């Protein structure tokens, strides 16, 4: 059985220095981070330009991500985008990536890295998100919490003891 060729691999071995090839590549990317997740097709419009000693990939990518508010845990979907600028070489220097044996370019690792970088570490649903009450879990954006003088008299505290009795 032959392994399916990645949709992110683009042939470039036939290009002479100075020539370029434009492609739109599309493939599935899955990423799970604290700030959000991606489980969607990523589309990248890329121009490959042959250099004397490699291939330059330059383009823009777009995808849909689900972001998770750092304070209130609300989730929302948004369209995201990123830039690709990467040199591929047969013998890569520290900024370069490895050309495939047939001279083609594998965009997958670059796209994966850019998607990960584009997801904020601590997204906020809005800049003044008030978050959740640390005691009762009330979403303080939608409901005021009257405050807790004694945590033990709250129904959530009793529930927490039931679920985890040794943590008292």
Q: Can you give the binding site for Zn ion, defined by CB under 5 A?
A: 69, 71-72, 74, 125, 129, 133, 135-136, 138, 145
Nearest to 71 by CA among 164, 138, 22: 138
Beta carbon of residue 106, minimum distance to Zn ion (angstroms, whole number):
38
Backbone angles phi, psi at 45, to 5 degrees: -100, 115
Annotate 99-154 with three-state secondary structure: CCCCCCEECHHHHHHHHHHHCCCCCCCCCCCCCECCCCCCECCCCCCCCCCCHHHC
Nearer to Zn ion, 66 or 138 (CB): 138
Nearer to Zn ion, 11 or 133 (CB): 133
Beta carbon of residue 110, minimum distance to Zn ion (angstroms, whole number):
32
Nearer to Zn ion, 69 or 119 (CB): 69
Beta carbon of residue 92, minimum distance to Zn ion (angstroms, whole number):
42
């Amino acid at each position: 059985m032959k392994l399916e060729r990645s949709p992110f691999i683009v042939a470039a071995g036939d290009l002479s220095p100075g020539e370029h090839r434009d492609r739109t590549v599309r493939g599935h990317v899955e990423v799970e981070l604290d700030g959000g997740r991606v489980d969607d097709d990523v589309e990248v419009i890329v121009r490959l330009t042959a250099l004397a000693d490699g291939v330059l990939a330059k383009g823009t990518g777009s995808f849909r991500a689900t972001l998770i508010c750092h304070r209130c845990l609300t989730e929302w979907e948004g369209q995201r985008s990123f830039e690709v600028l990467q040199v591929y070489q047969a013998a890569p220097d520290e900024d370069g990536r490895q050309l495939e044996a047939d001279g083609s370019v594998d965009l997958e690792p670059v796209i994966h890295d850019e998607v990960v970088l584009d997801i904020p570490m601590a997204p906020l649903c809005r800049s003044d998100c008030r978050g959740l009450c640390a005691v009762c879990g009330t979403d303080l954006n939608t409901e005021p919490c009257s405050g807790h003088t004694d945590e033990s008299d709250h129904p959530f505290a009793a529930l927490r003891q039931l679920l985890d009795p040794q943590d008292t």
